[in-house]
């Protein structure tokens, strides 16, 4: 009998990681490890671990290690500046020495990604001399604007465009002359906006105040460090179930404007839940935060993860909970007994009908209860049929005779019937209890023998005559007179006995009256208890008893199958029933589940073997990889992962499946979805331009309007994690250095002069 273990030892989440278990450390519980941003799992075979019936965890221990890219090699004639060394998320900027230029502007900024690789390719610094013959087409003047170039129109030169006050720059403000003699961008233009307004300047004697901020939809304006005055920092947050899109904090600048654009709160949504084999799901609130999706198994299947039927959309946009696993419903495995056996139409599956048969010598207790049906709930509908030993009615007494039985009136018992001296037996001298519960033959009678009539006369007148002597006899008994007769005295003989199979026979006086014949069996065989080994030729010409049978007293020892066990009801003795079973991860094949030691000394059926349990091969998935043994066996695992630019619909980097003892996988087949990042909004006083929208590895650059400078000047890359590298920059108004006072004059100027502000000198004669 199998008993449940006490469970597995408790698992502890590693540093910089989180551990979620479906049922703590109880048998069947599944624990999933996830690492924090910037960390990766050291061992994929430890990401998903299951508490086995043996009290051990599947897989192996793992930890969360920091994601580190290889150190970038130095660039000749240039320097590399990194925001955080070579750790995850660090942005490294290449800068060439004076007189040199970057050959690949797309790789000027490189980001350490979550796969441990740097984005882009390694650039180089090439010399840019006046003798360089490579030139780009001459750029024309800018209407309502101006242009300044670092090295005229030679290779490596950078031209910077600005527009006059009240006009907006349409296009890129930077053009680079490449080694191929072409500009990398189309020259921009300066266009007049519909409405041109200037920021409010602060007063000379008072502080700078920015416009009042208000709470955002589905969010709040948490706090400002100094109201809406200069240098005040205001922080935004979203309500539960929403993500903040845009800057978290905005700063009041000396120009009287806030950094960045007002953020917004976007509702959190989860991807569509995956379909599971042999099951379906329904969702009550779509796929939004807090929404739940309930899974149910198809008819004929049950959920092995009993605590997992509802998945909840979490605040990180991933489903919380363990997806169900629907396995086919089966009824409890039936076992044969020493009195019965059975055959099932569909094994132990639903609607399978198992028909019982009683073994030889047994009959059904209830002839109406001979089958069992597996119900839809995995329970057997009928009670188990019972087989009882066959018993015949007790034989009636034999007048003037005797009855001797080998095993009373039980099945296969043989009863010998004989008459007293002076009586002849008419009918069956031997009767056997049959499987039908009836006796073989007919009930005999004992009739008076005339030859023995003389036994009732005076003993002194009785003589024993030699055989074949002619005698004339007359008998008178109870006024009954038997007429005189002459006859030759016969020699009493019994039928000639024959030797038994696998044995021999020895008689003291052949088959004549009172001859005693003894049966013996060959070596290794014997006469079973209850059978006659000696028979005597009786006066009535019949032999006492019945012929015995030579039988083997036991069967040979059965061999225990590799990876299995045998349990026998009576060792290897006759009629002993032996049941085979296999260890966890193995299944019976070829032979029979049970075998009986037959009276012939042979075992019924053939010996089975225990073959290793194997699961069907798993399919490959589009845009993903499968790591799996060629023939997955019990407790072996297979791991799915996605190609770069794709992510599993389970929300994890890897998804592991384990081969169960039922030859089924413990979970569903995942799929790979394309990685996308949130759409980046334009920043205040600037725009954003992306190479591939919001898809994986798309690089987005920011451009500020004329009179504003980008801080910091970075490119943002859509990473494998679905987030953008770096943080949103801001466009800050260009601040001019203070002008000096002059003698005999007055300077009229804003406290902090920004782009397009005007300062005026006024001459004052004789000013001391």
Residue 168 lies in a domain: yes
Do 214 and 246 belong to one domain? Answer: yes
- Residue 4 is predicted with a pLDDT of 41
Listed residue (406, 399, 447) closest to 423, CA to CA: 447
Q: Look-up: residue for tokens 């208890």?
A: 529
pLDDT at 195 > cutoff 60: no
Tokens representing 546 are 């019945």
Residue 158 lies in a domain: yes
pTM of the model: 0.35
* Confidence at 132, pLDDT banded by 50, 70, 90: very low
Residue 301 lies in a domain: yes
Residues 6+ apart with CB under 8 A from 234: 213, 221, 222, 223, 224, 225, 228, 249, 250, 252, 258
pLDDT at 254 > cutoff 60: yes
Q: What is the mean pLDDT of the chain?
A: 81
Which residue did the predictor score with more confidence, 135 or 749?
749
Q: What is the pLDDT of residues 337-387, one digit of tens each?
A: 778 888 888 877 888 899 988 888 888 888 888 899 998 888 898 888 888
Do 230 and 245 belong to one domain? Answer: yes
Q: Which domain holds residue 86?
A: 78-127
Do 274 and 256 belong to one domain? Answer: no
Do 335 and 374 belong to one domain? Answer: yes
pLDDT at 203 > cutoff 50: no
Q: How far is CA 421 from CA 56, 380, 400, 539, 541, in A?
A: 80, 62, 9, 7, 12
- With beta carbons less than 8 A apart as the criterion, state whether 735 and 254 touch: yes
Report the alpha-carbon distance of residue 242 to residue 265 in Å, rounded: 6
- With beta carbons less than 8 A apart as the criterion, state whether 641 and 624 touch: yes
Tokens representing 34 are 């996830």
Candidate from 53-67, 147-161, 189-203, 319-333 with smallest mean pLDDT:
189-203
Do 314 and 345 belong to one domain? Answer: no
- Residue 455 is predicted with a pLDDT of 54
Q: Look-up: residue for tokens 């200037």?
A: 198
Domain end among 374, 389, 404? 389
Q: Residue length, the chain?
A: 768
Number of domains in the chain: 6
Q: How far is CA 351 from CA 15, 190, 300, 346, 624, in A?
A: 51, 81, 10, 8, 40
pLDDT at 636 > cutoff 80: yes
* Confidence at 173, pLDDT banded by 50, 70, 90: confident
Domain end among 163, 191, 219? 191
Do 385 and 333 belong to one domain? Answer: yes
Tokens representing 260 are 């960045």
| Helix H or strand E segment including 129 | none
Listed residue (321, 395, 407, 343) closest to 23, CA to CA: 321
Beta strands in 643-741 (DSSP E): 646-648, 654-658, 672-674, 686-690, 699-704, 708-711, 715-717, 730-733
Task: Quickly list DSSP for 510-525.
Answer: TBBTT-EEEEEE-TTE
Residue 765 lies in a domain: yes
- Residue 45 is predicted with a pLDDT of 58
Mean pLDDT along residues 252-259: 82
Residue 333 lies in a domain: yes
Residue 90 lies in a domain: yes
- Strand-pair partners of 326: 303
Q: What is the pLDDT of residues 651-661, one digit of tens each?
A: 788 899 988 87
Do 263 and 293 belong to one domain? Answer: no
Report the alpha-carbon distance of residue 530 to residue 389 in Å, rounded: 18
- Residue 41 is predicted with a pLDDT of 80
Residue 598 lies in a domain: no
CATH number, position 307 = 2.10.70.10
- With beta carbons less than 8 A apart as the criterion, state whether 336 and 359 touch: no
- With beta carbons less than 8 A apart as the criterion, state whether 758 and 739 touch: no
Residue 117 lies in a domain: yes
Q: What is the pLDDT of residues 507-543, one digit of tens each?
A: 998 888 889 999 988 876 777 767 888 999 998 889 9
Percentage, residues of the chain above pLDDT 90:
11
Domain end among 389, 408, 433? 389
Tokens representing 360 are 């030889």
- With beta carbons less than 8 A apart as the criterion, state whether 331 and 355 touch: no
What is the number of other CB atoms lying within 10 angstroms of the CB of residue 212?
Answer: 9
Tokens representing 741 are 């006072």
Do 261 and 288 belong to one domain? Answer: no
Do 219 and 260 belong to one domain? Answer: yes
- Cα–Cα–Cα angle for 601, 602, 607, rounded to 5 degrees: 145
Report the alpha-carbon distance of residue 181 to residue 179 in Å, rounded: 5
Q: What is the pLDDT of residues 754-766, one digit of tens each?
A: 778 889 988 777 5
């Amino acid at each position: 009998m199998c008993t449940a273990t006490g469970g597995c030892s408790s698992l502890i989440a590693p540093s910089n990681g989180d551990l979620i278990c479906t049922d703590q450390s109880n048998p069947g519980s599944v624990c999933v490890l996830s690492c924090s941003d910037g960390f990766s799992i050291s061992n994929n075979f430890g990401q998903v671990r299951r508490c086995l019936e043996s009290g051990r965890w599947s897989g192996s221990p793992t930890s969360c290690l920091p994601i580190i890219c290889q150190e970038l090699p130095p660039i000749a004639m240039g320097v590399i500046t990194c925001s955080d060394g070579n750790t995850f998320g660090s942005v490294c900027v290449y800068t060439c020495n004076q007189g040199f230029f970057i050959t690949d502007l797309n790789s000027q900024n490189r980001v350490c990604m979550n796969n441990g690789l740097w984005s882009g390719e390694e650039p180089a610094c090439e010399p840019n001399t006046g003798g360089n013959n490579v030139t780009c087409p001459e750029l024309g003047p800018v209407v309502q604007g101006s242009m300044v170039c670092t090295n005229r129109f030679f290779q490596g030169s950078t031209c910077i465009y600005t527009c006059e006050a009240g006009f907006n720059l349409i296009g890129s403000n930077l053009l680079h002359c490449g080694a191929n003699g072409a500009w990398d961008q189309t020259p921009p233009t300066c266009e007049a906006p519909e409405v041109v307004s200037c920021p409010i300047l602060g007063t000379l004697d008072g502080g700078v105040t920015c416009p009042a901020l208000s709470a955002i939809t589905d969010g709040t304006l948490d706090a400002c460090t100094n109201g809406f005055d200069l240098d005040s920092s205001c922080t935004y947050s979203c309500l539960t179930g929403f993500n903040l899109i845009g800057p978290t904090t905005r700063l009041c600048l000396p120009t009287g404007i806030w950094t960045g654009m007002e953020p917004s709160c976007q509702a959190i949504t989860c991807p569509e839940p995956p379909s599971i084999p042999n099951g379906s799901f329904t969702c009550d609130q779509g796929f939004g935060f807090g929404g739940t999706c309930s899974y149910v198994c198809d008819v004929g299947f049950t959920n092995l993860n009993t605590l997992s039927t509802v998945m909840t959309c979490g605040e990180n946009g991933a489903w919380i909970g363990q997806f169900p696993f629907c396995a086919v419903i089966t009824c409890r495995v039936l076992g044969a007994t020493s009195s019965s056996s059975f055959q099932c139409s569909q094994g132990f599956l639903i609607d399978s009908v198992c028909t019982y048969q009683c073994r030889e010598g047994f009959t059904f207790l209830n002839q109406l209860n001979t089958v069992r049906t597996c119900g839809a709930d995995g329970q057997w509908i009928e009670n188990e049929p019972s087989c009882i030993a066959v018993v015949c009615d007790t034989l009636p007494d034999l007048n003037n005779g005797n009855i001797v039985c080998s095993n009373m009136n039980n099945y296969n018992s043989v009863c010998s019937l004989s008459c007293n001296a002076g009586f002849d037996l008419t009918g069956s001298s031997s009767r056997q209890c049959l499987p039908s519960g009836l006796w073989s033959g007919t009930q005999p009678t004992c009739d008076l023998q005339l030859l023995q009539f003389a036994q009732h006369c005076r003993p002194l007148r009785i003589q024993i005559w030699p055989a074949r002597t002619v005698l004339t006899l007359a008998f008178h008994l109870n006024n009954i007179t038997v007429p005189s007769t002459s006859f030759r005295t016969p020699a009493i003989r019994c039928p000639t006995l024959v030797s038994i199979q696998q044995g021999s026979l020895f008689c003291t006086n052949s088959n004549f009256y009172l001859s005693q014949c003894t049966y013996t069996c060959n070596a290794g065989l014997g006469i079973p208890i209850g059978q006659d080994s000696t028979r005597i030729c009786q006066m009535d010409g019949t032999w006492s008893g019945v012929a015995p049978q030579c039988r083997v007293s036991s069967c040979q020892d059965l061999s225990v199958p590799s990876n299995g066990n045998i349990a026998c009801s009576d060792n290897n003795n006759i009629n002993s029933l032996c049941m085979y079973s296999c260890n966890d991860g193995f299944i019976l094949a070829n032979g029979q589940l049970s075998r009986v030691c037959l009276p012939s000394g042979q075992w019924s059926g053939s010996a089975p073997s225990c073959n290793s349990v194997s699961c069907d091969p798993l399919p490959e998935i589009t845009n993903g990889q499968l790591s799996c043994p060629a023939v997955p066996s019990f407790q072996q695992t297979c791991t799915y992962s996605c190609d770069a630019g794709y992510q599993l619909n389970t929300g994890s980097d890897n998804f592991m499946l384990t081969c169960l003892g039922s030859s089924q996988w413990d979970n569903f087949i995942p799929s790979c979805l394309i990685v996308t990042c949130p759409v980046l909004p334009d920043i205040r006083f600037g725009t954003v331009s992306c190479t591939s929208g919001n898809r994986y590895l798309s690089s987005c650059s920011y451009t500020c309007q004329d009179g504003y400078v980008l801080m910091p000047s970075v490119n943002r890359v859509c990473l494998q994690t679905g987030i953008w590298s770096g943080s949103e920059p801001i466009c800050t108004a260009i601040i001019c250095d203070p002008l000096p006072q002059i003698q005999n004059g007055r300077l009229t100027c804003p406290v902090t002069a920004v782009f397009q502000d005007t300062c005026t000198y006024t001459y004052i004669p004789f000013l001391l």
